[in-house]
Amino acid sequence: MNPNELAAQLQFFKDIGVDSLAVGAVGEAQARQRAASSNDRPDVQDLDAVRAELGDCQRCKLSPKRTNLVFGSGSRDAELVFVGEAPGYDEDQQGLPFVGRAGQLLTKIIESINLKREDVYICNVLKCRPPDNRNPEPDEVASCNPFLKKQLAAIRPKVVCCLGTFAAQTVLQTAAPISRLRGKFFDMDGMRVIATFHPAYLLRSPEKKREVWEDMKQIRAELFRLRA
């Protein structure tokens, strides 16, 4: 972290009311805590096992049309996971989530809270591209959602950020519109879940970026609070 970033980070702590910081091997302590707690969850698959179970998935009608299955990418120890809707053209071509224009914006959004893409984990509700980027259909979600749940259980992030209506409604199991869901935390299986606007929507409606910035500041504060 360079001096400017450090100053911004300290200002942020001050803004959220933190007036003292414990300096120590925080990363190591967290890793030890994680290793200890993963032994308490023998029924939970690790990420490699989830990927292996998904295999060369043919569970729904999207599989014959895909170029690549897009499982997810990033840190398997991520404290923060982003969940999008489904791969688009670029993601289908590369087998990686959020690598097109919306993905470039997502990278900037992640960096806005002093994280890097490699620090977080990024995946989608659907692992295969719907034709012409149409909306996911219920049978496709029913086939894929168990794998998203297993990914989240394997990583066990502190915070899950749902990108857009579809991810928010699927993860939170609700039909409420994104305008009602975004910007507040929900508790789910020991994780804090928040929704914000999808980066593809921000490309069409850049005036909504301010609200996403508010949501990202909340995420940053929540991560900091949960680390304390």
140 contributes a contact to ligand URA by CB under 6 A? no
Q: Which amino acid is at 27?
A: G
Beta bridge partners of 73: 122
Residues 213, 179 contacting (CB under 8 angstroms): no
Are residues 159 and 191 in contact, defined by beta-carbon separation less than 8 angstroms? yes
Closest contact distance (angstroms) between CB of 161 and ligand URA is 12
d(CA 68, CA 46): 22
Out of 97, 130, 136, 157, the residue judged to bind ligand URA by CB under 6 A: 97
User: Applying CB under 6 A, which of residues 62, 69, 78, 86 lies at the interface with ligand URA?
Assistant: 86
State which H helix or E strand residue 97 sits in. none
Confirm or reject binding of residue 91 to ligand URA (CB under 6 A): yes
Which of 85, 92, 140, 222 contacts ligand URA by CB under 6 A?
Answer: 85
Q: Which two tokens stand for residue 74?
A: 């990033």
The Cα–Cα gap between 105 and 109 comes to 6
88 near ligand URA, rule: CB under 6 A: yes
Radius of gyration of the chain (CA): 18
| Identity of the residue, 9 or 73, whose beta carbon is nearer to ligand URA in the bound complex | 73
As measured in angstroms, the least distance from the Cβ of 57 to ligand URA is 16
Count residues binding ligand URA (CB under 6 A). 12
Site of interaction with ligand URA (CB under 6 A): 84-88, 91, 97-98, 102-103, 124, 200
